[in-house]
Amino acid sequence: MSMTVVRSTSRSRLLLSSVVFVLFLLTVPVNVFAEDEQSIQTLRRMGKAFASIAEKTSPAVVGIKATKTIRSDSRQGNGDFYNPFDDQMFEYFFRRRMPRSDRQEQPKQVAQGSGFLVTADGYILTNNHLVGEAEDVSVQLDDRRTLKAKVIGADPGTDVAVIKIDVKDEPYVELANSDSLEVGEWVIAIGNPFGLSHTVTAGIVSAKGRNDIGVASFEDFIQTDAAINFGNSGGPLLNLDGKAVGINTAIIGPGGNVGIGLAIPINMAKAIYEQLKENGKVVRGYLGVKIGNLDSGVGEFYGAKSDKGAMVAEVMEGSPAEKAGIKVDDIVVELQGEPVMGANELMNRVAMFKPGTEVVLTILRDGKRKTITVTLGTRPDEGTVASGGSSKTEDKLGLHVQTLTPELAQRLGYDGLKGVLVTEVDSGSPADDKGIQPGDLITEVNREAVRNLRQWSDAIKKAAENGKVLLRVRGESGTRLVLITVSEE
């Protein structure tokens, strides 16, 4: 009898195991499907979030057309109409060269880009390189209305510009705190690439604090893989709250979007916006030092425990820094109690203060920490309005230049190079006589490398003291040295 019970129990266990196994096999696909469905739902929610942000903010994103009259030609000679560039962006930056006999009127050139409303009464943030030298600016709104815009001011130093249209109660983009933005966060770019209005792309923040790009004098870019193409310039970079964290400004790569886009942090843009709106120009704080990044070996020699900070290489005579007692080889480790990571960061942060502001620097000197209070001066050659002003030396040379941006470099075959691009040459000027042409790239002045407009201006002034300016120029015929004598007046 007991044997019967054992057999029955064994059969029951076997049957139960079989049922459990079959149920397991049946539930595996269901569980996998459930996981897939959950992932799909997550993606759907993300897509809905992107769509909601685009719907909310697109009405505040505008298309911009900037028109410039090209001044009289600097080149004489015969031949057909010559334009080395094949789109409107290049027509805007570089003057057409035509035979004088064929030219009946001065041509107009048009650039297209983006911008976004930041107030209900028509203030718009965009890029200096789009509207900075424009004589006529028009804005197309989401409802297809086209309105004339006034350039309130622009800042070549950061590539930020402010324009204004006459409207009331228009939708606008709220501004976020870009300092709180983290690497890896989702961001959305909206703009008008290639004239395709209100194009929306998404990506993540790839990096922060990118500098030494050569786009502007003061660089602290947000890097993103959200697709940014020609025409996106000036449009907003948005967080998932639909607030602007940056202004799209540049692309790094061999052609079009290749996954590396740059945006001006909105906190930097806010400071410039307020000055341009109030004064039509930007003035910056000034220490009066030349600084460099801290090498770990050198820093250790001077008592620094890390390579974070900025080392003073030179103190300008009579500068605020000299008056405050800052010395060569001092290492600046803090500004206003906040750590200084490097030379570029220190320069950017000082520039954001208004002249006359007292700031506290923490320095390392002979291995000992010390605090110094400095009353900032006004940064030289700042405070010019949108179109900017050229120095007397530049006027004498007859050259008009701009910083070589990554966008222009990739289109002109100057990839990997830094310098200033010649945009115009005055007819009959010394530069004209020496054969310098629009589209040429100047990489050195008197054997000193120039990477942007600020370095160009400094180098030109210094070179003019000797009455001779030696330029290293790269153009269609290769690289050559050009010596120009600067006459005294």
Domain boundary among 343, 378, 413: 378
Q: How many domains in the chain?
A: 3
Contacts of 157 (CB under 8 A, 6+ apart): 216, 217, 218, 282, 284, 351, 382, 454
96 is a domain residue: no
Going through 214-357 in order, the beta strands assigned E by DSSP cover 221-224, 236-238, 244-251, 261-265, 285-286, 289-293, 310-315, 331-335, 338-339
**Which residue in 73, 155, 159, 432 is the catalytic one?**
159
CATH code: domain of residue 456: 2.30.42.10
| 225 is annotated as an active-site residue | no
| CB count in 10 Å sphere of residue 15 | 10
279 is a domain residue: no
Same domain, 425 and 359: no
Whole-model pTM: value is 0.65
Same domain, 18 and 45: yes
pLDDT tens digits in sequence order for the chain, 489 residues long: 443 344 445 555 555 555 555 555 555 555 555 667 777 777 778 778 788 888 888 899 999 999 887 654 433 333 332 233 334 444 444 443 333 444 455 667 788 899 999 999 999 999 998 898 888 999 999 888 999 999 999 998 899 999 999 999 999 999 999 999 999 999 999 987 656 667 888 889 999 988 767 667 788 899 998 877 767 789 999 999 999 999 998 776 655 555 588 999 999 999 999 999 998 889 899 999 888 887 766 777 777 777 788 888 888 888 999 999 999 889 999 999 999 988 888 988 999 898 999 999 999 988 889 999 999 999 876 433 333 344 555 667 888 888 887 767 877 888 888 888 888 888 888 888 889 988 899 999 988 889 887 788 888 888 777 778 889 999 888 889 888 887 654
| 233 is annotated as an active-site residue | yes
294 is a domain residue: yes
| CB count in 10 Å sphere of residue 317 | 7
361 is a domain residue: yes
Same domain, 326 and 351: yes
Contacts of 77 (CB under 8 A, 6+ apart): 99
- C-alpha 96/C-alpha 71 separation (Å) is 9
231 is a domain residue: no
436 is a domain residue: yes
Which residues form the domain of 334? 285-378
268 is a domain residue: no
Contacts of 301 (CB under 8 A, 6+ apart): none
- C-alpha 332/C-alpha 9 separation (Å) is 83
Same domain, 362 and 405: no
Helix (H, G, I), strand (E, B) or coil at 226: coil
**Which residue in 74, 114, 129, 457 is the catalytic one?**
129
**Which residue in 114, 138, 178, 233 is the catalytic one?**
233
Same domain, 435 and 401: yes
Q: Is 20 left (phi over 0), alpha (psi -120 to 50) or beta?
A: alpha
Q: Does residue 363 contact residue 369 with C-beta atoms inside 8 Å?
A: yes
470 is a domain residue: yes
Range list of H helices, 214-325: 266-279, 296-301, 320-324
